[in-house]
Structures are given as structure tokens and as C-alpha cells.
Structure 1
Amino acid sequence: MPISRRQVLATAAKLGAVAILPQGCSREAEAGAAPRPAGPLRLGMNLSPLNYWTPGPPHLDWTREGSEWRPGNGYLTRMLPLPPQGEEFLVSWTGRVGRVRIPRTTTIAQGSNYLRIKAAPEAASIQTMPMMVYGADVNNPPVVSMVPAKHVAEWKAGKTWDPTFLEAIDGFSVLRFKDWQSTDRLDNPGLPLAECLALANDLNVRPWVCIRHTASDAEIRAFLSALSKSRNKPIVEYSNEVWNWSYAQSKYALAQAKAAWGETGHWQQWYGQRCGEIAKMARGSGYEIVLGTQPANPRLGAMVWKGVDMSGARNEDFGAWISSFYVTGTLTSTDGPLVDLAARDDIDGAVANLIGTPSDAENRILSVGGLRKQYAAQAAIAREHGLRLIGYEGNTHLHVSRFPKEVQEQLVAFVDTLMHDPRSAKVMEANLDAWAEAGGEDACIYNMSSPATRNGFFGVYGTASWDLLKKRVAETRIVT
């Protein structure tokens, strides 16, 4: 029976007694231990990055997703999200402004500090919408807002969020704010923590928040103190994927490790130590502190837990071990069948490749079948330390950037078609079931609505998997 949206349940007791084994990844993890009995899998959502090229801005004021002001030839300019064809907006401002111009729109009405505009039909073919302000003080830019006309009353009443966005995310148990906080980019301050918590509180869901990798002890303590305003127990993560060399935080961890222990210093050991230090700072708060390592390389867990030991933290200072649950099959490999499948428009073949078989694990193929062994290894690490297993990110992760440029457009179109075909929901369903069977208790989908590009297909809103996800959250939503 669906759980009431406002119902809050106490944290479930851990299943049975847990023996604490030597730190790291044991023989049990390597072999793939027997999973916990599968229970209802709670679903969370990673909110899409706040930028002007992601469709469906969550704020009522579309300028909140806009770029920074940049000086032009006698004006200031910024980029805003793509307007729906024919959508009407109220543009208003405070501060010194001579004139506001927004190309590909028609002015319906105007006054000394406002415009009412309508997006022209040809605006549907562009990717972003520029806003230009003339006669402004470059050193003190005006405050300009742009709100859909149908939501002006709500905005003037102090509302922040688009009701369509709120309806879409309603029901998910956890909202992960990694991208909203701009965790991976120090050049972007991200959305203030207070706004993230306000949204989570309004929806009565658990916030999953990230601490930037460069944060000092004083900054971390202030961050943890601010979390006291959360209505539900927050999940707290140090940075994001500190094992991933694509991110500055991994290089930062390596530099810190070498500074502390010399050239043999291990970045995952330093990461574990920092997580332990944060967990000690959070003692008594009731927050769920989480940590993890590279999903495909669970042996790194030994170094993480070595660092935790060095910090003086204990297993009970943490709440969960985290891992991702991304599916690619062999479709992202240039030696794989994607080009042929696209040429034949073979949706069934693509779905079969993504679901795969258990034997795929021997060849390190990331199909659902191949991932079961990986999930079991991560679950075993969680059990060794008496922790829950939760998925921080997961989805079908198909990117075509490795393929020759001349075929990328065709491949993007095929994968986009695949993700909207009802048959592709079988992949999401099989993957969530495999994660739950391994012992996963929560799974945060990545992500809400990012567009399909050659670098990946992440946004689930409007895809074939969306109805499946909403059905499941209606059946399993629990806030703890």
C-alpha cells in the first residue's frame, strides 16, 4: 500500500548481528557474498545541474538558471534557458536600466521597470535565449527577473519553485543536491545550502548534501551546524567520487596524501581519513555520514578504511557505504554493436545488450547481468562495517563521444529514441531489481532532466523509465 506523503517512519533496525571483520575488502567481497534479503528499494533523485542549457528550469524566476552577466558592446548580456514556443513572461528589474532586449521574442506590453514578452515560434529551434541590458552600471548590474506569466502571482507571493517541477519530484525519498551545490566545480559557488534544505523541507524528503573537498575544519563545522535546519535526517558526503581522476577532488586528495605521507601516500587513504574526521565532527548530530570508493574496483576499499582507522573514527560513526549503479553494456565501446544497432534501428538488440547475462562479469561488461558481481562486492564491504548500502548515482549511461564524429549525430538520435521507447524501461527495472537483490536499500537516479548529448543520456524525466520510477516511489516512499 502506498505510504502517505507526510508520514515519517523511524529508522529501520539493521538486519541481524554484524561481525566486524578486518578493514577493507575481504575474501567475502571478492567472491561475492550472499545478499541481504531484498526489501522495498527506496528511490531518490539527483537534481539536474542549474544552468541555462538544461530544460525545465526548477525556479519560477528563470534568471536563477542564467549565466553570469558579461559586458558587451555598450550592454550587459547573459544567457537564459530555452523558452517554450509561445510562452509569455514578465521581465522586471530594479536598478539602473536604459533598455532590455531579448531576441526572438515579441513585446506585448512595457513600463518603466518591466516588459511582458512572448517567445516567437522560431525560438523553439534555438538552444538558449540571450538577454541584453543597455544603460546599466557594469560595476553594479541591475537585478532582473523573468517569470512565466502564468506563475507571476505565485512568484509575487514569495514562492520559489515551478509547480511542474515540484509535482515531478514529489514522492522520491531522497534528493541529492550534488550538482545544485556545484560540488565538482570550485569556480561556481552553487546554490546556497539553505535553499537546498528549504526545498527538501517543503517536500518532506531527506536531503543528500556534499561538502566541498577544499573545506576547512571550521567550514565543515559550520556546514554541519546549518544542517540542523533539515526537517529529516540528512545524508552527508565528502565531495563526490574522490576516486575519479576526471575531478579536481581526486587530484587534491593525492596532493594531500603525498604531503602527509610522502610519494607513497595513497589518495583513497587520505579520502578515508578525511571522511573519518568529518564523521567525528558530526558525532551526536544524527546525520548519516556516507563514504565509498570506485564501484568497479572494490579493492580500493581497504585503503579507504585504513584512512578511517587513522582518523580515529569508528564504523558506527557512519551510516552507509555508497556506490553507483550505471549500465552501459558494450554500447559505449567502439568495438561494440552500437553502430550496427543504430543502422538497423534495433531497439530490442540494444535492450538485450544492456540487460546482458551473469557471464558478462567475467569480461567486466557493465550490463545488468555483469554488474551483479560488482554490486555483491560493494554490498559485502558495507556489511563488514555494519553499514547500509545505498546508490548515489545510477541510470543507463550511454555516451558516444568515443565514436568517429561522422557517426555521432546518428548515434545520438538512436540512443535518444532508445531511451524513449517503452522497451528500454526493462533495463531500468532489471537494474533496480539487481541492486535491491544485492542488498541496496536506496538508489538515487542520475539525473532528473539533463539533455541527451554525445557525452551521455542522463535525464529520465519524460523517458520510458519515468512512469516506472513514479510507480515505484508511490509504493515505497519512506522518509527516515
Structure 2
Amino acid sequence: MKILPLLGAMAMALLSCHAEGKFPVGINLGQNSDYTPMFPFADAMKNARGWARVDKRYEAGGVSLNPQGWPLEDAAIVINAAVPDLAGVYQLKFRGPASVSAPDGGKVEDYQYDSGTRISTARVIVPERQTLLSLAFQQTEGGVTDVELLRDLPADGPFTKVFLESLKPFGTLRFMDWMRTNGSKQVSWADRTTMGSAVWTRPNGVPIEICVDLCNKLHADAWFCIPHLADEGYIREFARLVKARLDPGLKVYVEYSNELWNFQFPQTNYFKAKATEAFDAKVRAGEMEESRRNQELYAMLWDMEALSAAKALKIFRDEFADNARLIPVIGSQSANPYVTKSYLRSGVLDGVISAVAIAPYFGHFLGSKKDADRTLAEGIEGVFARLGEDIDSSNKKAIESNAAIAAEKNLRLVAYEGGQHLTPSSGDKERDKQLNELFIAANRDPRMGEIYKRSAANWAAAGGGEFVYYSHVSAYGMSGYWGLIENMQQTSTPKLDAVKTIASGNFETSDKK
């Protein structure tokens, strides 16, 4: 077995896991937002957009808020937008008097106000096929607080039961999107979302406590991402909270920010600006030649990111006292193993991280400007043929290369994200529309499940460990087809069914490839 010399004891542990009939599968939770068809919380207010002026309810902002985010004046708020299956009778409760309306449809009935407790209650009735729900609070006495809008869904604590049920197949939950890691502006511990915050969407996502409680309820390992601007106090309190609140039998993956190699994200450009500043200073001091900018700038960038990651992850190490359940990781670029080498080169991460994490997506090129015409000409048969070629060639090679680099440092290889990466990106509106229709069909096709199993088999053969798919639930469209399911009513899709099968340790496909 060729992976044994490469990965030694780590590969043996993985094979033992397979022998028990299981494979470590996780899931990325999508952004908690008004437009995500997730329905995670019994209280629909927790996925609301943000308070706005009554006459501009779709644009969060423009009203005075208290420190917890409640309005100090008349205000409106979008609860859900472009989301199916909103119908039902919601129970509304809040503090303070108000005239309440549902300006985008629905009825507010049986409003009552208790002047002694200053508590208002009402029922909000949303009809069938309504996809937009908002509330307006007028004639208030300095705004309203503690607004709660309970869904017409069975609940278990703060979570809806349908949400909990949908997550049961997954052994690890990654909270990168749920906590809005990309472009985070959080610096101090006071900046974070708290349990008392009015909404758990923008700007900083879901409270850490809720993430931990979700893992405890599902007995799933947690995967957290540290905001790139967070100071030492923030990181230390983060670590202490997780250590104290999470079931001690669960593992904690911790990652510094997200995709620091990816220049689509503000955190990467933040470090690029710092590296550029440092390089320019060396040029001015005569320590560096301008002609070496392209080579040296990126080396400095990767070194800076590795050092910042090491400092942040070391704080978690200190707080957990090197407890074996803590798994600090460095996220790297799957398709470019040189980035992985560069992060590990200086040695600052030695003794700090336990794993290298990559995202071995496949098929991203099929919607590109270069390949779009061929993709459309070959149709869905061609899509699956080329996806198969990708996972058995360049994708497989990238996984094996990263595994070898990790093994040189005695590190595990895990996947922070992964799955199909079909996106219409040809640059031509009409072509992208056609690609979108084709890619939606491909993601709903049973053959996509077969591709997922083939990809997982390659991952396991290379010694890969935990594979955290991207993502849980999302509507399909021009921005991608990320969800294993498209809405919370789906309990079976080709991708979801395949991942469940993979989790059982079975990678066998119907075509035996």
C-alpha cells in the first residue's frame, strides 16, 4: 500500500477508521442571512437583515441603534427575502408599544400591549407562496427592543428541528461563513456578536456560544476561523470560551482567517499591503532590488501570513494546554502546492499546527471564458466526462502533492472545503445564462453523486483525513451551486446522498471507476 511509507502512523489511523466503516465528513454552514433558505433558528429575527428606516426597509441602516442593535426610533426590518416556504403563523413578542405591520405581505393580528410589563404580542400570518417577509414598527415610544418572531416550526432550544436533522450526517461543522470570517473587521472582544445582539447576521455573524451549543447538541466537532484583525485579547477569550463551553469529548479545529492566499478576499489584500510596504522599505534602504519585486513580495506575504497564523494559533495552544482535542491548521491553496511549501518553509508553524488544510474543488474551469464554448457544445455528457478527467488528473495530483508536503512535517492533510466548483464565469451574459442552466442540471443529476464518490476515493487513497464539504444549503444560481441541498425541504439529493455514503466509508460507484 503506497500511502504507508508516506504517511506512516497517520495513514494507519485513517485505514483503521475505514475498517470501522466510517469516513470523517464535515460540512460548512452557509451565511446566516435573510436570503439563505436555511431556517436555523426558532426565532426568525436572528436571521434578519438589519434595522432600517420604515420608508427604506430594504437598506439596513439609517436609524439610531442601542449597543445591542435595537432601534431607538420607528424602524422596519426584512426577516427573509427570496426564500421559499415562509408560510405559517409566527408568534411576535417585543418590548415597548408599537403599531406593527407587514408591508411586504402577510397580516399582523391579535396585537396586545401590557403597559405594566411593557410587553407587546401579536400573531404574524404569512400566506402560501410568499417569499418576502418584513415588519415595520411605527408609533413607538423611542423604538422597540427584544423583538422575537417564533417560526411556525418545531424547535429544540434555539434551533429548528429541521435544521438539526439536516446536519446529523456530519461529524464536523465549519463556521467560516456563519461567523462571517471573510473581510471581518473585528479587533477586540467587544466587537463580536453576543447572545443579546439584535440580529446574528451582519456584520459579525452568529455568536460563538451558539456555534458551540450547536456542536454540543449534534455531538459534532467544531471548526472555527479566527478573524485576521483580532487582537490577543479577542483570541484568548475566544479560546477560553470554546474550551469551557464545548463538550470535552469533541475536537476543535482552529484556523487563522480563511484562504489567506486568495486575493478575492480583503484579508489577503490586507497582508499584501503590509508585504508591499515592507518590500518598499527594503528597496528604499538598499536591501532589496526593485527588479525582484515579483519574486520577493509573495515570499514576504506568505511569511507574514504564516507568522500571524502562528501567533494566533499559539494562543489557542496555550489556553488548551496542548490538549489533543485541539487541531490547529494552516489553510492553503490546493491547486498550488508551492503555497503550502511557502507557509511551512520558515518553520514558524512547527509545533503549532497539527494539519494542513486545503480545498480540493474540481471543475472550476468548465465555466471559464476559455472553456465555456466547448462546455456548452458538449452538454451535460461532456460536463461529467471532464469532471471525471479533472478528479483523476490535476485534482488528484494536487491532493497527493499537498499530502507529501504535509507528511514531510509530520502533519495531517484535511479539507476545509471541497466538492464541485462549477460557476458561469465566461464574461458573456448570454453564455453565462446557458451555463447556469447546464450547471444546475449537472448538480441535480445522479452522476454528480458518482463524481463525489470518485473524488472521495482519491482523497482517502492519498491519506486525506477530515473532509469538510462546501456547503450545507444554498439556492442554485449564477453565484454557484454550493449546497448539498437547495432548501430545507430536501432530504435526498445526488450530492447529499453521495456524501452520506462516503461518510459510511463506501466510495464504490455504479460505474466501478
Answer yes or no: same fold by TM over 0.5: yes
Structure 1 residue 253 and structure 2 residue 251: aligned?
Answer: no
Structure 1 residue 353 and structure 2 residue 386: aligned?
Answer: yes
Match of 1:78 in 2: 77
The question of whether the paired residues in 2 share the 8 Å contact of 1:330 and 1:367 is answered with no
Which has the higher mean CA deviation after the structures are superposed, 203-212 or 220-229? 220-229
Match of 1:55 in 2: 37
Aligned with residue 303 of structure 1, among 323, 342, 350:
342
Match of 2:159 in 1: 161
Match of 1:45 in 2: 27
How far does residue 296 in structure 1 lie from its aligned partner after superposition? 1.6
Residues in 2 aligned to 1:17 and 1:418: alpha-carbon distance in whole angstroms:
39
Relative to structure 1, the CA distance from residue 72 to residue 368 in structure 2 (aligned partners, 3 Å threshold; closer, same or farther) is: farther
How far does residue 186 in structure 1 lie from its aligned partner after superposition? 2.3
Residues in 1 aligned to 2:161 and 2:376: alpha-carbon distance in whole angstroms:
37
Residues in 2 aligned to 1:130 and 1:78: alpha-carbon distance in whole angstroms:
6
Match of 1:65 in 2: 47
Residues in 1 aligned to 2:404 and 2:302: alpha-carbon distance in whole angstroms:
19
- Give the AA of the match of 2:134: P
The question of whether the paired residues in 2 share the 8 Å contact of 1:76 and 1:136 is answered with no
Residues in 1 aligned to 2:217 and 2:337: alpha-carbon distance in whole angstroms:
37
The question of whether the paired residues in 2 share the 8 Å contact of 1:69 and 1:77 is answered with yes
Structure 1 residue 415 and structure 2 residue 416: aligned?
Answer: no
Match of 1:149 in 2: 152
Structure 1 residue 427 and structure 2 residue 451: aligned?
Answer: yes
The question of whether the paired residues in 2 share the 8 Å contact of 1:451 and 1:459 is answered with yes
- Give the AA of the match of 1:189: N
Match of 2:127 in 1: 120
Match of 1:377 in 2: 401
Aligned with residue 253 of structure 2, among 235, 239, 247:
235
Match of 1:98 in 2: 99
The TM-score, its normalising length taken from structure 1, stands at 0.81
After superposition, give the CA deviation of every residue in 1:389-431 in whole Å (9 maximum; x if it has no partner). Answer: 0000011111114341124333323322221121221111111
After superposition, give the CA deviation of every residue in 1:106-162 in whole Å (9 maximum; x if it has no partner). Answer: 446443323323322341xx4x32222222356x543322222343xx47xxx1001
Aligned with residue 8 of structure 2, among 7, 13, 16:
16
How far does residue 368 in structure 1 lie from its aligned partner after superposition? 4.5
- Give the AA of the match of 2:368: S
Question: Which of the pair has the greater relative contact order for Cα pairs under 8 Å at 6+ separation?
Answer: 1
- Give the AA of the match of 2:162: T
Aligned with residue 360 of structure 2, among 325, 333, 342:
325
The question of whether the paired residues in 2 share the 8 Å contact of 1:58 and 1:162 is answered with yes
Residues in 1 aligned to 2:392 and 2:46: alpha-carbon distance in whole angstroms:
38
Structure 1 residue 459 and structure 2 residue 462: aligned?
Answer: no
The question of whether the paired residues in 1 share the 8 Å contact of 2:258 and 2:331 is answered with no
The TM-score, its normalising length taken from structure 2, stands at 0.76
The question of whether the paired residues in 1 share the 8 Å contact of 2:255 and 2:331 is answered with no
The question of whether the paired residues in 2 share the 8 Å contact of 1:200 and 1:206 is answered with yes
- List gaps (5 residues or longer) in structure 1: 1-13, 19-35, 357-365
Q: Secondary structure at the match of 2:304?
A: helix
Match of 2:306 in 1: 272
What pairs up with 1:196-207 in 2 under 5 angstroms?
196-207=211-222
Residues in 2 aligned to 1:137 and 1:343: alpha-carbon distance in whole angstroms:
63
> In angstroms, what is the RMSD of aligned CA positions?
2.7
The question of whether the paired residues in 2 share the 8 Å contact of 1:351 and 1:426 is answered with no
Residues in 2 aligned to 1:415 and 1:375: alpha-carbon distance in whole angstroms:
24
Residues in 2 aligned to 1:86 and 1:339: alpha-carbon distance in whole angstroms:
42
The question of whether the paired residues in 1 share the 8 Å contact of 2:102 and 2:133 is answered with no
After superposition, give the CA deviation of every residue in 1:31-60 in whole Å (9 maximum; x if it has no partner). Answer: xxxxx9696331000001101111022111
Q: Secondary structure at the match of 2:494?
A: coil
Q: Secondary structure at the match of 2:469?
A: strand
What pairs up with 1:169-248 in 2 under 5 angstroms?
169-186=167-184, 188-228=203-243, 229-231=245-247, 232-248=250-266
Q: Secondary structure at the match of 2:8?
A: coil
- List gaps (5 residues or longer) in structure 2: 1-5, 56-72, 114-119, 186-202, 283-295, 507-513
Residues in 2 aligned to 1:386 and 1:76: alpha-carbon distance in whole angstroms:
56
How far does residue 258 in structure 1 lie from its aligned partner after superposition? 4.7
Match of 1:26 in 2: none
Relative to structure 1, the CA distance from residue 348 to residue 161 in structure 2 (aligned partners, 3 Å threshold; closer, same or farther) is: same
How far does residue 172 in structure 1 lie from its aligned partner after superposition? 1.1
Q: Secondary structure at the match of 1:465?
A: helix
The question of whether the paired residues in 2 share the 8 Å contact of 1:236 and 1:289 is answered with yes
Aligned with residue 130 of structure 1, among 114, 130, 134:
134
How far does residue 251 in structure 1 lie from its aligned partner after superposition? 1.6
Aligned with residue 502 of structure 2, among 466, 472, 479:
472
After superposition, give the CA deviation of every residue in 1:306-355 in whole Å (9 maximum; x if it has no partner). Answer: 34x2x4x53x332111100111164222332x5566578x4332211211
Q: Secondary structure at the match of 1:103?
A: coil
After superposition, give the CA deviation of every residue in 1:216-250 in whole Å (9 maximum; x if it has no partner). Answer: 12222222222212221201100000011111111
Which has the higher mean CA deviation after the structures are superposed, 465-474 or 168-177? 465-474
Relative to structure 1, the CA distance from residue 37 to residue 197 in structure 2 (aligned partners, 3 Å threshold; closer, same or farther) is: closer
In the TM superposition, structure 1's runs of 4+ consecutive aligned residues that sit over 6 Å from their partners are: none
The question of whether the paired residues in 2 share the 8 Å contact of 1:77 and 1:130 is answered with yes
The question of whether the paired residues in 2 share the 8 Å contact of 1:104 and 1:122 is answered with no
- Give the AA of the match of 1:68: G
